[in-house]
Amino acid sequence: MLQVSHRDQNTLASTKAIILVGGPSRGTRFRPLSLDVPKPLFEVAGHPIIYHSLKAVAKVPGLREVILVGYYDEGVFRDFIKDASLQFPNLRIQYLREYKALGTAGGLYHFRDAILKGKPERIFVLNSDVCCSFPLNEMLKLFEDKDAEAIILGTRVSNEAAPNFGCIVSDSHTKRVLHYVEKPESHISNLINCGVYLFATECIFPAIRTAIKRRTTRPRLVSYPSSENLETSFIAEDDEDSQRPEILRLEQDVLSDLADSNRFFVHETRDFWRQIKTAGSAVPANALYLQQAFQAQSEELTPPSASIVPPVYIHPTAHVDPTAKLGPNVSIGPRAVIGAGVRIKEAIVLEDVEIKHDACVLYAIIGWGSKLGAWSRVEGTPTPVSSHSTTVIKNGMKVQAITILGKECVVGDEVRVQNCVCLPFKELKRDVSNEVIM
């Protein structure tokens, strides 16, 4: 934690945080789980994805206000905000809804009056779909040390994975960002944008305004490369959405301009970082947050024992037979019932799931209210720790590495489900592998 003097408290009090939560149409790769819950509220390590970002924000000294910006319906975050406000009483949390998707900078600009209320000097901007240790205080320190206009959180990935992200070329000595390219076509750097920023308010809003002016005088001819269309190989040159002048992306429209100033710096984290895009990516995110909680000796986790290989989270209302063996990296949701002799490893079991005796669940997500029969086996394939993908190549074909059962699926006794994605309400009576069950 930063040590802060009384004088600094006042300065730090003028920092706010914005979490970009996106909206329903963006959750398509998170299917089938996003059919039943908005992605930011999906639970990993016992808490909604955005709870983990809020927890980090709550540790920034003097930060009092968090604004979730997105285009989900008004009511979607109501209960979450109510609960989170009790857990983080030092934070005022509100949700501001864009009338339609305005892009990562468009929403910020649209709500600039609300954001600038109280005259904050700095704003943190966090993508909601990343899992990391959020070293916000280190970013704040770099911001102060360099008298910066902007700080971006960066991490190193393999050269192969880098073009799926925003790439940063920096001066390794001064940490200054020299060049920024969003999802470049050829290799420029393996230091990538983690989707976490700290901006001086006096700099970011004028920078967005400049981008708006440029868009009006010089509209784009091709669409933005988003990871959505990279994944599906769909290059939307005539995609109406990306052509709308009100859509503004921080990454494509603003960050490369900031790199032209000499007050844009990168804080490179060596701690964990992952994107949460596909439903399968919730499994590594669950593991990473559980490991973080274990290192912090969190009392939320179940103590290690002969049948608990840490880290494991079991909701207090779940019932786990003492002969079941769980872990590592397992979360068990509310009211789940886990029978005798069950084995669960690297998995998320959601609320009201029932798993009968001697079943085995590995590298999988078991959807709300699903039922697994006795001696059944639901399993995915482990992905390398360093991988930023949740698919693997098998017999020359790309297959899902994590097996996912949607809400209220039923797996018969002794049935084996391997590397599959199963839509809600399906009943599996025979063995299946490498299939999407619709």
Strands 410-411 and 436-437: unpaired
Is 128 a binding residue for ligand GDD by CB under 6 A? The answer is: yes
Part in contact with ligand GDD (CB under 6 A); list of ranges 65-73, 213-221, 348-356, 410-418: 65-73
Is 98 a binding residue for ligand GDD by CB under 6 A? The answer is: yes
Closer by beta carbon to ligand GDD, 129 or else 149: 129
Least CB distance from residue 81 to ligand GDD, whole Å? 16
Strands 360-366 and 264-268: unpaired
Least CB distance from residue 196 to ligand GDD, whole Å? 9
CA–CA dist 60, 14 (Å, integer): 11
CA–CA dist 363, 379 (Å, integer): 6
**Residues of this chain, 163-222, that bind ligand GDD according to CB under 6 A:** 165-166, 182, 192-195
Least CB distance from residue 373 to ligand GDD, whole Å? 37
**Residues of this chain, 245-284, that bind ligand GDD according to CB under 6 A:** 251, 275
Q: Of all helices (H) and strands (E), which one includes residue 320?
A: strand 319-320
Query: Which residues of 325-415 form beta strands (DSSP E)?
Result: 325-326, 330-332, 337-338, 343-349, 354-355, 360-366, 371-372, 377-379, 391-394, 397-400, 403-405, 410-411
Part in contact with ligand GDD (CB under 6 A); list of ranges 63-71, 282-290, 304-312, 429-437: 63-71
Least CB distance from residue 255 to ligand GDD, whole Å? 8
Closer by beta carbon to ligand GDD, 376 or else 383: 383
Q: What is the SS3 assignment for 229?
A: helix
Q: Which of 21, 177, 366, 392 binds ligand GDD (CB under 6 A)?
A: 21
Part in contact with ligand GDD (CB under 6 A); list of ranges 85-93, 123-131, 367-375, 419-427: 123-131
Nearest CA to 34 out of 420, 380, 368, 409 is that of 368
Q: Which of 15, 17, 26, 56 binds ligand GDD (CB under 6 A)?
A: 26
CA–CA dist 232, 391 (Å, integer): 13
Nearest CA to 261 out of 187, 188, 200 is that of 200
Least CB distance from residue 257 to ligand GDD, whole Å? 15
Q: What is the CA radius of gyration of the chain?
A: 22
Closer by beta carbon to ligand GDD, 43 or else 129: 129
**Is residue 40 reached through a cis peptide bond, with omega within 30 degrees of 0 on the bond before it?**
no
Is 20 a binding residue for ligand GDD by CB under 6 A? The answer is: yes
**Residues of this chain, 370-389, that bind ligand GDD according to CB under 6 A:** none
Nearest CA to 426 out of 32, 28, 29, 27 is that of 32
Closer by beta carbon to ligand GDD, 104 or else 190: 104
Closer by beta carbon to ligand GDD, 3 or else 233: 233
Q: Which of 34, 104, 278, 389 binds ligand GDD (CB under 6 A)?
A: 104
Q: Which of 65, 129, 253, 379 binds ligand GDD (CB under 6 A)?
A: 129
Is 130 a binding residue for ligand GDD by CB under 6 A? The answer is: yes
Least CB distance from residue 249 to ligand GDD, whole Å? 7
Least CB distance from residue 271 to ligand GDD, whole Å? 15
Strands 343-349 and 325-326: parallel
Contact 369, 408 (CB under 8 A): yes
User: Could you tell me how many residues of this chain bind ligand GDD (CB under 6 A)?
Assistant: 29
CA–CA dist 285, 130 (Å, integer): 9
Q: How many residues make up the chain in this entry?
A: 438
**Residues of this chain, 219-248, that bind ligand GDD according to CB under 6 A:** 226-228
Closer by beta carbon to ligand GDD, 22 or else 120: 22
CA–CA dist 17, 57 (Å, integer): 7
Q: What mask of x and - would describe binding to ligand GDD in positions 296 to 335, judged by CB under 6 A?
A: ----------------------------------------
Q: Of all helices (H) and strands (E), which one includes residue 275?
A: strand 273-275
Least CB distance from residue 146 to ligand GDD, whole Å? 21
Least CB distance from residue 165 to ligand GDD, whole Å? 3
Nearest CA to 224 out of 105, 126, 70 is that of 105
Is 102 a binding residue for ligand GDD by CB under 6 A? The answer is: yes
Closer by beta carbon to ligand GDD, 95 or else 368: 95
Separation in Å, CA 163 to CA 33, 113, 191, 224, 437: 27, 35, 10, 14, 31
Cβ neighbours of residue 368 under 8 Å, at least 6 residues apart?
36, 333, 350, 351, 352, 353, 407, 408
Site for ligand GDD, rule CB under 6 A: 20-22, 26, 69-71, 98, 101-104, 107, 127-130, 165-166, 182, 192-195, 226-228, 251, 275
